Homo-oligomer: A and B are copies of this chain.
Amino acid sequence: MTAEFERYLALSGGVGGAKLALGLSRSLGTGQLTVLVNTGDDFEHLGLRICPDLDSLIYALSGLSNQAVGWGQRDETWQCLDALAKLGGENWFRLGDRDLATHILRSEWLRAGQNLTEVTTKLCAALEIQTEVLPMSNDPVATEIICQSGQSLSFQHYFVRERCEPPIQDVRFKGIDQAALNPKAAALLGGPSPLDGVIICPSNPFVSVRPILDLDQMARRLIEHKAPVVAVSPIVSGLAIKGPAAKMMQEMQLPQSALGVAEYYVNHYPKVLDGFVLDVQDEHSASDIERLGLKVLVTNTMMHSLEDRCQLAENVLSFCREIA
């Protein structure tokens, strides 16, 4: 079987996941890759529907992303936000001028009755993105951070406004019991056409991957589907490449390591994972992870350059083929 006829599904949060998704999109042809994206981070702000993880994917796959800061668009300007602050508006969420256009149009199309999948497809088409990018659900799911102080914060308030500072107690996903898995993803996992692998991108397991796996029997669907499921560790050498994953692990009293991530997935989603990808820096944990019942790939998972993204993608795809 050549790569030409293969079909993969990637589960992704924002920035880290988007890097691997970009690599996968370069390795696979049109029609071969679907990225199912967390929407638990979505929120309404200043009347705009903002989908940070979808935007990270869209910007990464269209070449618009700002790789220097790791979020938003490159060549971004901040005139509107500056004027907004002068008028007394909230400016804790960094809305760039070009980024604003995405939020304005998405909000407009949603108000016009299109669902989030249709809107996302239109945005991708306008930017000539070949990869299929799907929100995990068309229904609202809202991530809430329950802080150790007892305070409950919506995800963006925790993540951006409070800079992930409050120690967390728990995470809840409001609406998840009522939300349906994206019908296109459900068809991919339940349909007659084979899927050659499911790749859980190096995204935050607790706030980016968990909402996707908790949604509408997604974990069961992955178990029942025969395609190999492999996860790439977002923790390298005990540190999160980006974001609060490692800090959250500490606060949740989980070991801050790639092994800790593998244990989390195996304990909370038994039988879902077939393979685990960890960085060469964490090679010492490979045997412990194998003892959890997982196949292990040790490789470079640090994606500084486009070449790194493509190389990791190739390695992960080969790993899927080996497991299958």
Query: B-contacting residues of A (Cβ < 8 Å)?
Result: 46-48, 73, 76-77, 79-84, 86-89, 96-102, 104-105, 107-108, 111, 122-123, 126-127
Contacts and interface: CB of A to CB of B under 8 A. Distances in A.
B127 A47 contact: no
A277 B217 CA distance: 76
A64 B105 CA distance: 27
26 contacts: A46-B104, A47-B104, A47-B108, A48-B104, A76-B79, A77-B77, A79-B79, A79-B97, A80-B80, A80-B97, A80-B98, A80-B101, A80-B104, A81-B101, A83-B99, A83-B101, A83-B102, A84-B101, A84-B104, A84-B105, A86-B127, A87-B126, A87-B127, A88-B126, A89-B101, A89-B105
A308 to B, nearest CB: 28
Contacts of A88: 105, 122, 126
Contacts of A127: 86-87
A48 B80 CA distance: 14
Contacts of A73: 83
Nearest to A64: B83
A88 B105 CA distance: 9
A75 to B, nearest CB: 8
A87 B102 contact: yes
